[in-house]
Amino acid sequence: MLRGVRRGTAWAVLLSVTASLLAACGSGSDAGGDLTTEKVTLRFTWWGADDRHKRTQKVIDMFQRKYPNITVKGEFKEWNGYWDSLATTMAANDAPDVMQMDELYIASYAERGALLDLNEAKKHLDTSNFDQKALATGTIAGKRYGLPVGLGMYSIMVNTDLLAKYGIPVPDDTKWSWDDLKTIGEQVSKAGGGAVFGVQSPGINDAAGLSIRARQQGHAMFDADAKVVLPQEIARDYWQYVLDLSKSGAAMSPSATIEKASAGLNQSATATNTAAFGLWWNTQLTALTAASGAKLKLLRLPGETQGKAPGAYYKSSMFWSVSARSKYPAEAAAFVNFLANDEEAAKVLLTERGVPANQKIRETISGQLKDTDKAAKEYLDTVPVSDPPRITPNGASTLDTILKRHTEDVLFGRTTPDQAAASFIREVQSEVDAAR
């Protein structure tokens, strides 16, 4: 493997030199020009599960019928492999033309010059039906590096079948606190007798729990200048809470928690009906309901009314981005336009990538939604939110893995919540600094 890495590096150098030479004499189009009539092939990559692959391939076929001279080659992977592969193909100057991009990585790629400013391709890409606030989430320093695909919100998913089985009432989510969640979690665990637990603990897969608690107290993870401004005591309280969930028995044992949370959506505690409460995207309701076979309900986040501001916000579930080195930026933009604005395409894609950020499309598909999709949409339409946080800065795309490691250290007693908080803030800051 070692040899593989070195090999990769040098190939990257070699290829980038060759490619820059080729690019100088290449015949690619420019983003603002007319669409070519020659035969071209675009490469398009996304992460996701089977359902997404099927829907996306259908839309690709529709696009190819509309533009017979453009072939779109789809490449799909699951989340982890996706970013490994994108990093290597980027380095080899072999990046796909169109890619599905995430909030966590968009700044890292944009600020290294890998993404096209979509404003340059205005001619082919209509953004008039998008909410300005949503559009802003994909914009860095005035340049549009990503077009938001769908919107999502964090929510607590509760398995009402389990609660009914144990005779525990569904909590009133308009005013519940984090402590209420812990208390009811303990009740469920007690009733579950070691087979079913109260809460799938946050802090393993992403930084959502921590970020929400910070926002509820009027703070944030980063300020506008990409400085880590998360107060240490908020991080400390967060890890203390995660530890308490584990110690009180509201959550599973540390190793079971990690195993379940790392195993992907279908093996998660929520999907396997082994925990009654879990922190999820509202748009994952459909997938989780299908996986668990139980009745799931979306609850508002705990602590929303006790704090200074709602922690909830509209997050772009993902973006469409175009490679800055694409030879066919105009055609790539036309394809993104099709994904984002075509009504027939939208009827295939529905809310699988989140509730569409394109408001016109959102209305178009509203008649076709399943009950769970409707519930997700209703959640988005009714739950109070505050302004979205700053985009994850360049260098901090390792945020989630850093958080996971600290949670593990806390859960296994290798560090205290206080030490974890200090170490986490220091490490994230140094990651951001290192990327400058």
Q: What is the binding site for another protein (CB under 8 A)?
A: 1-3, 5-14, 80, 83-84, 87-88, 90-91, 108-109, 112-114, 253-256, 258-259, 262, 395, 397-398, 401, 404-405, 408-409, 412, 414, 431, 434-435
Whose Cβ is closer to another protein: residue 97's or residue 431's? 431
What is the nearest approach in angstroms of another protein to the Cβ of residue 291? 17
Whose Cβ is closer to another protein: residue 15's or residue 385's? 15
Whose Cβ is closer to another protein: residue 294's or residue 435's? 435
The whole-angstrom separation of Cα 98 and Cα 320 is: 7
Whose Cβ is closer to another protein: residue 24's or residue 434's? 434
Residue 121 and residue 31 in contact, taking contact as beta carbons nearer than 8 Å: yes
Helix (H) or strand (E) holding 278: strand 275-281
Helix (H) or strand (E) holding 355: strand 355-356
What is the nearest approach in angstroms of another protein to the Cβ of residue 253? 8
Whose Cβ is closer to another protein: residue 174's or residue 401's? 401
Whose Cβ is closer to another protein: residue 36's or residue 398's? 398
What is the nearest approach in angstroms of another protein to the Cβ of residue 109? 8
Quote the Cα angle for 80-76-119, to 5°.
Answer: 95
The whole-angstrom separation of Cα 60 and Cα 291 is: 27
The whole-angstrom separation of Cα 96 and Cα 330 is: 14
Whose Cβ is closer to another protein: residue 270's or residue 351's? 270
What is the nearest approach in angstroms of another protein to the Cβ of residue 274? 11
The whole-angstrom separation of Cα 277 and Cα 299 is: 9
Which phi and psi (to 5°) does residue 73 adopt? -100, 115
What is the β-pairing status of strands 275-281 and 197-200?
parallel
What is the nearest approach in angstroms of another protein to the Cβ of residue 95? 9
What is the nearest approach in angstroms of another protein to the Cβ of residue 5? 6
Structure-block tokens of residue 262: 């790392």
What is the nearest approach in angstroms of another protein to the Cβ of residue 12? 7
Length reported for the chain: 436
What is the β-pairing status of strands 70-77 and 40-47?
parallel
Whose Cβ is closer to another protein: residue 188's or residue 204's? 204
What is the β-pairing status of strands 275-281 and 154-159?
antiparallel
Which phi and psi (to 5°) does residue 45 adopt? -130, 145
Whose Cβ is closer to another protein: residue 260's or residue 300's? 260
Residue 160 and residue 221 in contact, taking contact as beta carbons nearer than 8 Å: no
Whose Cβ is closer to another protein: residue 82's or residue 314's? 82
3-state secondary structure of 197: strand
Residue 358 and residue 151 in contact, taking contact as beta carbons nearer than 8 Å: no
What is the nearest approach in angstroms of another protein to the Cβ of residue 186? 21
What is the nearest approach in angstroms of another protein to the Cβ of residue 50? 18
The whole-angstrom separation of Cα 49 and Cα 389 is: 27
What is the nearest approach in angstroms of another protein to the Cβ of residue 423? 10
Longest dimension (CA), the chain: 72
Q: What torsion do the CA atoms of 361, 342, 372, 177 make, to the nearest 10 degrees?
A: -50
Q: Which residues contact 413 (CB under 8 A, 6 or more apart)?
A: none
Quote the Cα angle for 333-125-41, to 5°.
Answer: 20
Whose Cβ is closer to another protein: residue 45's or residue 217's? 45
What is the nearest approach in angstroms of another protein to the Cβ of residue 99? 14
